[in-house]
Amino acid sequence: MQFPIRIQLRRSRLLLASVTAMHGAAAICLLALPLPVTLRFLLLILVSIPTLFVWRRPSIAGLRITSAECAEWILQDGQALALTVLPETSATRYWVALRARIEDRKLVASAALLPDQMTSAEFRQLRVWLRWHREKRPTAKVAADS
């Protein structure tokens, strides 16, 4: 694998459609409930708020894998944030659930990456790197309580 690997992220139409459809279905269920109109309206607003977050501009513009152990988020303003990929990260054929610790801020960030957000070659490289990274990571030994 040749480093650095640069992955330019696009907005996922698949994620946008699925989240909008699920919240739409929840809204229809709310409208069918035998509740007062004001309560249904308030619940409808609460169900609609998360959909707005999917429609806003993403703050992450890309991902740069700099070596076998290091990766960086590239933000919309060009700033790079160093990441440590956590063991909870999952890479499948259809999506990647990336869990990472941001080095400078000690925050844990999560991202759902779908194949329509990047080229198929970039998605394959990311999945291979994550699987390779997981295999190289030393396994923690759990001490038995006695």
Query: In this structure, what are the phi and psi dihedrals at residue 116, rounded to the nearest 5 degrees?
Result: -80, 0
Q: Mean of the pLDDT values across residues 35-45?
A: 93
Q: Tell whether pTM > 0.85.
A: no
Amino acid at position 3, single letter: F
Give the separation between CA 146 and CA 30, rounded to whole angstroms.
Answer: 51
Other C-beta atoms closer than 10 Å to the C-beta of 12 total: 20
**pLDDT band at 143; cut points 50, 70, 90:** very low
How does pLDDT run across 56-115, given as a tens digit for each residue? Answer: 888 899 999 988 788 999 999 999 999 989 989 999 999 999 999 988 787 898 999 999
Domain ranges of the chain: 5-11+59-136, 13-55
Q: By percentage, how much of the chain surpasses pLDDT 90?
A: 62
Amino acid at position 87, single letter: P
Among candidates 82, 91, 140, 142, which has minimal Cα distance to 115?
Answer: 91
Confidence at residue 72, expressed as pLDDT on a 0 to 100 scale: 93
